[in-house]
Chain A
Amino acid sequence: MTIGNNAGALAHAETSQNVEPPHTNTAASHEAVSSRLPDKPVVVIESRTWLALDLQELWAYRELLYFFMWRDVKVRYKQTALGVVWVILQPLLMMLVFAFLFGRTVGITSDGVSYPLFAYAGLVMWTFFSSAVNAAGNSLVNSASLITKVYFPRILVPAAAVGATLVDFGVSCVPLAILMIFWKVPLTWNLLLIPLFVVLVVVLAFGFGMWMAALNVKYRDIKLALPFVIQLWFFASPIIYPLSIIHGKLRSVLALNPMAGIIEGFRTSLYSHKAFDWRTIGFAAAVAAVFLVYSTYSFRRAERQFADLV
């Protein structure tokens, strides 16, 4: 190859390019950078099968979680006339429909709480759960352009989707409080247990949503199946009816649904209309915890393939 003969000339061209004396500042910063080089690698990239959750890294990226949530909240009601009112409108209108249907015509008992109040509490909880699972389940696929271009802990994506939905949940609790005042619900110590059920529903929604998100990357079927599954789940949960109207075997089956314990428990802590069913609640908590652990594991396993598959 003749190009080799030119090495001298090339080296020469290079020196003439570098004749310009380096700026003193840049030289100094160069020094500073070199001296800062750590002994151990900051990052080692290798082929891995699965990874433990790197909590330290997650902490370092906490601001990004916040920014993702902030983006989701901000964008959701952009260019809508009613804006955040939609958050309240959805469960409120659902409540009116069910109150008319069941409260007036069919006459479902509601454990002694007036039906609109009963239904709204369940609907608020359910609306959060279903939107969180749906948002989290589609979050990775919707962030495909990010996932293939930038590194960050992928778990932030479904986490932010759930987090942004939690903001909506907070907003839809305002009319709940107003309804409670309107119906003169007595204040009890049970109200202090509300956070417990919120935590449970968040853990369950995050666990399930994260699992769906990882599957969705590989199987777009999830995107189609998820709304349907959620729809069925709605009827299998004691949202517009109390668990107490179901008897026998069917009741034990329905109690296997973790949302049963969470919704009933949430309602009990609000209205104190009956005793807590700790067995169902405990079961729901266990299911939520197991889901979270399993989902985290499988998410981390699948994570390294996301960029190639999405």
Chain B
Amino acid sequence: MKPIIKVEGLGKQYRVGARQKFPTLRDSLVSAVRNPFNLLRTNGNSEMFWALRDVEFEVGNGEVIGIIGRNGAGKSTLLKILSRITDPTTGRVELYGRVASLLEVGTGFHPELTGRENVFLNGAILGMHKAEIDRKFDEIVAFAEIERFLDTPVKRYSSGMYVRLAFAVAAHLEPEILIVDEVLAVGDAQFQKKCLGKMNEVAKGGRTVLFVSHNMRAVAQLCGRCLWIDGGQIISRGPSNEVVVEYLSSSQPQKMDGLITKEMHYHDEVAELCFTRIALLDKDSNPTVVTYFGEPLRFRVEFEVLTPLEQIRLGLVINKFDETIVCAVQHTDAAMDLLNLQPGSYIAHIQIDIQLIPAPYYISLFAKPEGGYWTSGERSLDYIGHALAFNVEEVSAEGRAVLPTNALIHPASRWTLEGLEYN
């Protein structure tokens, strides 16, 4: 298939460190007038840094491609070049279609203007024509659910309304190529779900989408293929599920010992209970990210209690990367009472006897206050969406191959055969 995006030898160099100094305004002006773009040239006393180097890939028409990588890996630089915000230092990109980029929702929203006015302004900034916006206006407003506040300045909107309106405008763009960066990082869980649904719709509508996100679930679910970028270069590419697992399990060495870092917490502030570490254990109780088929899953979860807590429930959820919840286990399953905990460090040992089908999975952790349970509505004391990723191998610990299945579970079953009487 003919590619719609062709990237060859793409590189972007930034200068870091000392700049040429202009001690006074007068010098600065004189120099600026004499040679206005002096400083844009390279000069000796600063270090060059390649944010992106020798990047090469093609995207087929209608493909949905995920781009993943750590912060500062070069993902955003790549998107900025593809959306023509900044020029590359080397290389070439050919685009065989119109591009719209969504690097942040609400780009160009003006707080003083009303919702109605901002729809038109934002639409125009994102590349829509007035006639097009006129046509889609009702649809946009309906999607954003802000009918009653159309003529209110957006500065009086709640942040939720603001984001909904901004996403609604962006979601109604109709370019051949759509570039999306972290849009789903905003809004509440319910709205994120709605955004994801819309993204799915866009993707299935035959549009080419480049999707950058830290939300691995979203990437695995939306994208067929995936590029993993690190240090400005493509480290791995291939089917999303594979690349995502590779990224999650191997990119950070601390992943093995399952340290839960600050940004992994769902809530910005964790003041009462804080998960600190999770590990999947092999039969020798060493941390692992790969387990054989049929082995019981054993986890060790470490957490800290910061204030005295009463009536709390701990839980662990196993998810597939397509967002299917495989199971959610809670400590009360084992006939334990709700926990009353004093400040201090704790370790929970969890064993789940389940035969997962060979696939990649990830673990979520939660702690609910006041007798809350997995699906109850109150805010968790702590929630880790992606605590740990692991793989279930296609072979059992004894090396017996598992027959492929497209079923959701593969429980242990016991079979006996009796010889029937026959004549």
Q: Which of B104-112, B137-145, B185-193 binds A?
A: B104-112
Q: Which residue of B lies closest to A4 (CB)?
A: B242
A214 to B96, CA, bound (A): 31
Stretch at the interface among A114-122, A265-273, A299-307: A299-307
Cβ contacts under 8 Å, B83 to chain A: 150-151
Query: Chain A, 18-33, contact with B by CB distance < 8 Å: what is the 0/1 string?
Result: 0100110010011111
Q: A67 and B107: CB pair below 8 A?
A: no
A219 interface contact, C-beta 8 A: yes
Closest B residue to A309 using CB positions: B40
Question: A13 near B359 (CB under 8 angstroms)?
Answer: yes
Q: For the complex, count residues of A whose C-beta is within 8 A of B.
A: 69
Q: How far is the CA of A67 from the CA of B36 in the complex (A)?
A: 30
Q: Is the interface of A mostly helix, strand, loop or mixed?
A: helix
For chain B, the bracket of interface size reads: 35 or more
* Cβ contact within 8 Å between B94 and A41: yes
Contact between chains at B25 and A34 (CB < 8 Å): no
Structural contact, A8 and B250, CB atoms closer than 8 A: no
A9, A42, A304: the one contacting B95 at CB < 8 Å is A42
Judging by beta carbons under 8 Å apart, are B61 and A37 in contact?
A: yes
| Residues of chain B within 8 A of A34, CB atoms compared | 1, 61-62, 206
Chain A minimum-CB-distance residue to B224 = A14
0/1 interface trace, chain B 240-256, chain A, CB 8 Å (1 if under): 01100110011000000
A302 in contact with B62 (CB, 8 Å): no
Q: Does A167 make an interface contact (CB < 8 A)?
A: no
Confirm or deny: B176 has a beta carbon within 8 angstroms of a beta carbon on chain A.
yes
1/0 contact string of B57-89 vs chain A (CB within 8 Å): 000011000000000000000001111111111
Interface membership of B99, Cβ < 8 A: yes
Contact (A149, B129) CB under 8 Å given A43-B84, A219-B28: no
A219 to B30, CA, bound (A): 12
Q: Do A67 and B124 form a contact, CB below 8 Å, given A45-B87, A149-B104, A218-B39?
A: yes
* Alpha-carbon gap, A8 to B393, bound state (A): 11
A33 touching B360 in the complex, CB below 8 Å, given contacts A75-B110, A151-B101: no
Contact B93 A221 (CB under 8 A): no
User: A307's contact among B80, B290, B394, by CB below 8 Å, is which?
Assistant: B80
A74-87 to B contact mask, C-beta < 8 Å, 1/0: 11001100000000
Query: Would A9 and B80 count as touching, CB distance under 8 A?
Result: no
Per the bound structure, the CA–CA distance linking A2 and B404 in Å amounts to 17
What are the residues of chain B within 8 A of A251 when measuring CB–CB?
none
Give complex CA distance A219, B26 in Å: 12
Q: Are B206 and A33 in contact (CB under 8 A)?
A: yes
Contact (Cβ within 8 A) A8 B241: no
> How far, in whole Å, are A221 and B25 apart by their CA atoms in the complex?
7
Q: Contact: B112 with A63, CB < 8 Å?
A: no
- Extra A-B contacts (15), CB below 8 Å, given A2-B393, A64-B124, A225-B25: A5-B395, A12-B406, A33-B176, A41-B95, A46-B88, A47-B90, A63-B124, A78-B112, A150-B101, A152-B127, A211-B36, A218-B32, A218-B40, A302-B36, A308-B86
27 contacts between A and B (CB under 8 A): A1-B250, A5-B393, A6-B358, A6-B359, A8-B394, A22-B204, A30-B62, A34-B61, A38-B97, A41-B94, A43-B99, A45-B81, A45-B94, A47-B88, A47-B91, A67-B121, A67-B125, A146-B108, A149-B85, A150-B83, A150-B101, A150-B103, A152-B125, A218-B32, A298-B36, A298-B37, A305-B86
Q: Which residues of B contact A (CB under 8 A)?
A: 1-2, 4, 6, 14, 22, 25, 28-29, 32, 36-37, 39-40, 61-62, 80-99, 101, 103-104, 107-108, 110, 112-113, 117, 120-121, 124-127, 129-130, 153, 176, 204-207, 239, 241-242, 245-246, 249-250, 290, 320, 322, 357-360, 391, 393-395, 404, 406
